[in-house]
Amino acid sequence: MPSSIRILTAVPICDGHDSAINTINLEFIRHGVEVIYLGYHRSVGDIVRAAIQEDVRAIGISSYNGGHIEFFAAVVDLLRKKGADDIKVFGGGGGTITHDDAATMRRKGVDEIFFAGTSLDDMVKFVHRRYGKPRTRRPRPKSFDQELGHKLSEIEERYAKGKRPTSNAQRSTSKSGARHQTSNIKHQTSRVIGFTGPGGAGKTTLIDELILRFLHRNPKGRIAILSHDPSVVGEGALLGDRATMINSQDDRVFMRSMATRGQAGGLSPATHDCLALLARSNFDYVIIETVGTGQEAMPFQKNGIVDSTVLVMNPDYGSRLQLQKIVMLDLADIVVVNKSDLQRARTAHTEIEQRLEQNRRHQQLVDTVAKRHRDSGVDRLFELISNRE
């Protein structure tokens, strides 16, 4: 499991131009960079919150709508205010950012501005040269999110170096990067819900809708999400689940994106220890989402790391023979047929129901349309998860 440069990329609020950033993201991951893509139309607060939780080395902003001097400066200023000025800022904007603008932005703390015509190779070399060296001194964490972000990075780095964290390191949340202060992280066991299923089933959208319901029901509650995306073999990873999250852009939601870094089964080698830390960190719920898998018994049953498992399926899974081959149908506590507004959904419900009856377990089957506002199926799923012992 190699160590990797982690950066966050985003497009500012009132800007929907994502062609350039998508091209640049792909070039970065081809050269070993893990890119957390936040998407477009993102505020300063959204960007800084995500960067701190993800504990990235830098933020890359692609701006084509004007207002770049003020926007970039606001990101730098908020990072400083949050005590996260070790996270740097760079970016570009085609022909919208002039050389005079760039000089002003550098004086305000922006590392680098790329202009129209800059080669992708030059951008990649800059990121590797500027952010590829190991961190030396870390700032003293000023917040719960910052401390937790540091601890998760420490776990991943230990695995990258071939050193699994010791039991004492796993239990302690106030040593190492946060040793200068009393830890903000409390030891309280959270409910852990695992979501798995094939790619395109709508897991991320469904989770985002469940988060909305949780936030409404629990005005003071907190929830964590540990989301996984695959690594390109021998290269980096595009961690893009944040880009489709709407309701989860909230201060009471902590989200961390992880790459599989060469491990099969939908999880990272460091997942178990990262999840153990989150489960002890004063969240009401921790949701873990795998890479688009779900046919095999892994990932959750191997380590017994979740309290409940939700398998999210598409109505278009193929023939009945395919159902017999999906081992997770034997093991999931709740099976969701998402996109149940599709033509084949009623047939899929009947076939899956018959398959579950053969298991003779108390499994629940729910039909949802996660993309639909106030979907009654998502309401039912939320109640099932909330009421499970």
From 44, 48, 47, select the one nearest 70 (Cα to Cα). Answer: 44
CATH of the domain at 98: 3.40.50.280
Identify whether 186 is part of a domain: no
**In a domain? residue 326:** yes
Distance CA 299, CA 317 (A): 20
- pLDDT for residue 373 is more than 50: yes
pLDDT confidence of residue 263: 77
Q: Which of 184-188, 279-283, 382-386 has the lowest mean pLDDT?
A: 184-188
Checking if the pLDDT of 170 tops 60, the result is: no
**Of 112, 110, 135, nearest in space to 124 by CA:** 112
Polymer length of the chain? 389
From the CB of residue 318, how many other CB atoms can be counted at a distance below 10 Å? 9
209 & 273 share domain: yes
Asked whether residue 198 carries a pLDDT value surpassing 80, the answer given is yes
Based on the fold, state whether residues 347 and 229 are members of the same structural domain: yes
Give the count of domains, the chain.
Answer: 3
Residue 183 lies in a domain: no
Count the Cβ atoms, other than its own, within 10 Å of residue 19: 9
Q: Is residue 280 one of the residues assigned to a domain?
A: yes
Residues 202 and 172 in one domain: no
Q: Are residues 224 and 300 in the same domain?
A: yes
Query: Would 137 be classed as within a structural domain?
Result: no
Based on the fold, state whether residues 38 and 159 are members of the same structural domain.
Answer: no
* Percent of the chain residues topping a pLDDT of 90: 69
Whether the predicted pLDDT of 1 surpasses 50: no
| 218 and 324 belong to one structural domain | yes
Q: Looking at residue 301, what is its pLDDT?
A: 61
In this structure, the answer to whether residues 210 and 162 fall within a common structural domain is no
Q: For position 214, which CATH number holds?
A: 3.40.50.300
Percent above pLDDT 70 for the chain: 89
Residue 126 and residue 204 in one domain:
no
Tokens read off for 113: 């501005």
Domain that holds residue 149: 144-178
- C-alpha distances (whole Å) from 344 to each of 336, 340, 341, 347 are 14, 8, 8, 6
Examine the domain organization and report whether 122 and 152 are in the same domain.
no
Please compute the mean of the pLDDT values over residues 351-378 and round it to a whole number.
95
Question: pLDDT digits over 208-228, tens only?
Answer: 999 999 999 999 999 999 999
| C-alpha torsion 100→106→107→109, nearest 10 | 150
Residues 301-317, mean pLDDT to the nearest whole number: 84
Q: What is the pLDDT of residues 99-131, one digit of tens each?
A: 999 999 999 999 999 998 999 999 999 999 999
Confidence of residue 234 (pLDDT cuts 50, 70, 90): low
**Residue that the structure tokens 């719960």 belong to:** 144
Residue 101, domain member (yes or no): yes
Which whole number is the average pLDDT over 317-321? 83
Using the structure block, give the residue that is written with the tokens 């049953």: 301
Res 296: pLDDT: 62
Q: Give pLDDT, residue 169.
A: 41
Contact in structure between 118 and 90 (CB atoms under 8 Å): no
Average pLDDT estimate for 279-293: 91
Mean pLDDT score of the chain: 88
Q: Indicate the pLDDT class of residue 171, thresholds 50, 70 and 90.
A: very low
Are 119 and 223 part of one and the same domain?
A: no
Q: Is residue 113 part of a domain?
A: yes
271, 212: one domain = yes
Among residues 147, 190, 170, the alpha carbon closest in space to that of 279 is found at 190
Kindly state whether residues 277 and 304 are assigned to the same domain. yes
Q: What is the pLDDT of residues 264-273, one digit of tens each?
A: 778 888 999 9
Asked if residue 30 belongs to a domain, the reply is yes
Going by pLDDT thresholds of 50, 70 and 90, the confidence category of residue 376 is: very high
What pLDDT is stored for residue 135 in this prediction?
Answer: 82
